[in-house]
Amino acid sequence: MNIAINETISDLINIGFQLLDPDMTEQPLEALASVITMDPTAADAHYNLGLALSKCGREHEALDEYLEALRLDPQSADTHNALGILFEEFGEHDRAMAHYDKAIEVDGHSSAGYLNRAVLYKERGQFESAVQDFRRAAELDPTDSGILVDLARTYKKLNDFDQAVTVLRTAIAVNPYDDDAWNSLGHTLLYKFDQVEEAIEAFDRAISIVQENSDAWFNLGSAYGQQDSHFRAIEAYGQASKLDPECADAIYNLGLEFRLVGEYEAAICAYLKAIDLKPDDAEIHLDLGIALDYADRVDEALISVQTAIRLDPGLARAYNSLGVILAQLDRRHDAIRAYRESIRLAPDRGTTYCNLANSLEELGQNEEAAAARRTATELGDEDALERIGPL
């Protein structure tokens, strides 16, 4: 083949490679197909055509191109990595691992093989092996903060939270504008070290970098909730749910916060939206019932709590809430049965003993009521000496 044709092939490969964009699929396919027509032995063209086909969702055609590229150039680490990723999508993890191993064997100085293999190790629960490969990938590409974030998350899987924080701080030093690193740091500080203020600073920093980071808004809501800063939590969960309308947990937590500030109708609205997304979640149905009860919609509350019990017969606090509602409906004997079932499921919950004592006293069963109230006091229930019982 003459030099002019070689230059044309090179140009077409470059055109195809440069046009690999999710919104531009036909042009790279045409350019790369032209290369293969001119020279079927152009391994790069088959490889890049595989990339383009994969981006178009035509994975099985992409597989054929990758395999042909590999036949033409068995020492291509890029092709081995691409095949590994594709076999992972097909659920063939052993074949994926074999290609990642080969990519590392062919080019041990590229981070891609180690990174891909680390991700697969992590997915398979082989966290120690994943840590080793993430560390090696980070050594080979020290400017990629994302590798360090993945490494930190793997340390968390191993319950090594101190090391996770150290790695996340390194990631932030490498790239102070990595919102994922800031969010992950805040998450670890909040949930594993109870460092709420520092966690809030980290979440704020993540949001200042990427305002559309719904996870950071969600975590910020959790942090404010722990501080009993309910209105700030409402704002944060509201932002999270706007950014990710399918996040039932954000909408559910929004409902919890509305309830805590006495906005019961708003809470009910949030719970109903969450139920639309997770109709079989017993906890949401239960908390909807509690909000309905606070809003003096007792009959509806009863239905919601009964639905929660139907969905999860082992949910102890649902029986306690059922007892409270039944007591309001003057069904004291039924209420007592509900409280006793709650106690059977969760014998360490002082509030339920307190509620049981209230209903027993209403029926004049003072001796049993006193015993229940003593148990509530022993369990540390602050309301045990009063005739009040929360849901």
Q: What mean pLDDT is predicted for residues 313-341?
A: 97
In this prediction, residue 151 carries a pLDDT of: 98
How many alpha carbons lie under 13 Å from residue 120 in its C-beta half-sphere? 24
> Within a domain: residue 350?
yes
pLDDT, tens digit, 9 for 90 and up, residues 56-83 = 888 999 999 999 999 999 999 999 999 9
* Selected residue with higher pLDDT from 101 and 4: 101
> Radius of gyration over alpha carbons of the chain, in Å?
29
pTM value is 0.83
37 pLDDT above the threshold of 90:
no
Q: Lowest-confidence range among 62-76, 108-122, 375-389?
A: 375-389
> Within a domain: residue 163?
no
pLDDT, tens digit, 9 for 90 and up, residues 222-238 = 999 999 999 999 999 99
pLDDT-based confidence at 55, cuts 50/70/90? confident
> Within a domain: residue 114?
no
196 pLDDT above the threshold of 80:
yes
Q: Structural domain tally of the chain? A: 1
Contact, 32 vs 12, CB < 8 A?
A: yes
* Selected residue with higher pLDDT from 35 and 280: 280
> Within a domain: residue 321?
yes
In this prediction, residue 307 carries a pLDDT of: 98
Contact, 300 vs 292, CB < 8 A?
A: yes
Q: What mean pLDDT is predicted for residues 328-337?
A: 96
> Within a domain: residue 384?
yes
In this prediction, residue 4 carries a pLDDT of: 39
Give residues with Cβ within 8 angstroms of 121, minimum separation 6. Answer: 127, 129, 130, 133
100 pLDDT above the threshold of 50:
yes
* Selected residue with higher pLDDT from 11 and 72: 72
> Within a domain: residue 231?
no
CATH number at residue 386: 1.25.40.10
Q: Give the pair of three-digit tokens for residue 163.
A: 């090391």
Q: What mean pLDDT is predicted for residues 358-367?
A: 95
In this prediction, residue 380 carries a pLDDT of: 81
Contact, 340 vs 366, CB < 8 A?
A: no
253 pLDDT above the threshold of 60:
yes
Q: For the chain, give the percent of residues with pLDDT over 70.
A: 87
User: What is the rounded average pLDDT for all residues in the chain?
Assistant: 90
In this prediction, residue 388 carries a pLDDT of: 34
In this prediction, residue 8 carries a pLDDT of: 47
* Three-class secondary structure of residue 275 per DSSP: helix
> Within a domain: residue 131?
no
β-pair partners for 21: 24
Contact, 139 vs 151, CB < 8 A?
A: no
In this prediction, residue 7 carries a pLDDT of: 45
In this prediction, residue 5 carries a pLDDT of: 39
Spatial distance between the Cα atoms of 367 and 132, rounded to a whole number of angstroms: 64
> Within a domain: residue 368?
yes
In this prediction, residue 32 carries a pLDDT of: 61
pLDDT-based confidence at 48, cuts 50/70/90? confident
Which residue segment(s) compose the domain that 385 sits in?
Answer: 314-391
